[in-house]
Chain A
Amino acid sequence: MRHSISLFLFLFAVWLLLSGYFETLLLVLGLVSCAFVVWIAKRQDVVDHEGHPVNLRPIRWIQYTFWLIGEIVKSNIDVARRVWHPKLPISPTIVKVPADADELRQVIYANSITLTPGTVSIDLTDATITVHALTREGAMALEQGEMARRVRGVRRPE
């Protein structure tokens, strides 16, 4: 029930942000369509704990976001330099990095790896992420495990 309510509130917030009209008729239409979507989601059995991660630490989360933006900017510049370089100095490497057992942390970690240009997570089996890196340096930086350490702090330990 808690997850349905949070889904409904989220959907209605999106409706308000996208429409920008506050007339009674449109608000009622919004409420009805949000309720309808929640009903469909219930029927499809997709409303569960994955839809609403409640035990994140907000401050760590914001810190992590800013750190990740910095990393993305740095690796963007690096990859752009390599692409424009006449000799194309790349050394594609495949490396396996250990991830946390927790599902949400795995998702955050793998998505962060993919978001950073120069590293793409290509497979995830038994809490081990297979990463394709554009350069050997990128692979080594990932193996240092700073990103993994920061991801671990994002969620409260159970």
Chain B
Amino acid sequence: MIFAVAACAILFTMALTLSRGILGPTTYDRILAVNSFGTKTVLIIAVFGFMTGRPDFLDIAFVYALINFVGTIAVLKFFEYGDLGGARSPDEFES
């Protein structure tokens, strides 16, 4: 029961976040909305796992948390450098 209430609250917030992503005047607003949306996805996967009595869902939540973070950083890096590998020049690596 309590899980259903929490899931409703999170879904409502996801709707709000999504509308910010659609409205968002700048690109950064949209990235912020997507990042926040990912956080809520992790939460709702965890809560949903408890709601259906299958806490194995937590592994999926964990993987989603990882992907969310890496995805946000990758998009930002792409915006800042226009390239995913170009933050350091190649001659800085010694191997």
Contacts and interface: CB of A to CB of B under 8 A. Distances in A.
B59 A18 contact: yes
A45 B59 contact: no
Nearest to A19: B59
B93 interface: yes
Interface string B62-95: 1000000000000000000000000000000111
Contact count band on B: under 10
Interface in A39-65: 43, 45
Contacts of B93: 45
A42 B75 CA distance: 26
A104 to B, nearest CB: 21
B79 to A, nearest CB: 16
A18 B94 CA distance: 35
A45 B94 CA distance: 9
A43 B95 CA distance: 8
A89 B62 CA distance: 37
Contacts of A45: 93-95
A49 B43 CA distance: 33
Contacts of B59: 18
A55 to B, nearest CB: 27
A45 B62 CA distance: 26
Contacts of A43: 95
A43 B93 CA distance: 11
Interface in A91-129: none
Contacts of A18: 59, 62
A45 B59 CA distance: 29
A21 to B, nearest CB: 13
Interface in A1-25: 18
Contacts of B62: 18
Nearest to A43: B95
Interface in B22-72: 59, 62
A124 to B, nearest CB: 15
Interface of B: 59, 62, 93-95
Interface of A: 18, 43, 45
Query: 4 nearest interchain CB pairs?
Result: A18-B59, A45-B93, A18-B62, A43-B95
6 contacts: A18-B59, A18-B62, A43-B95, A45-B93, A45-B94, A45-B95
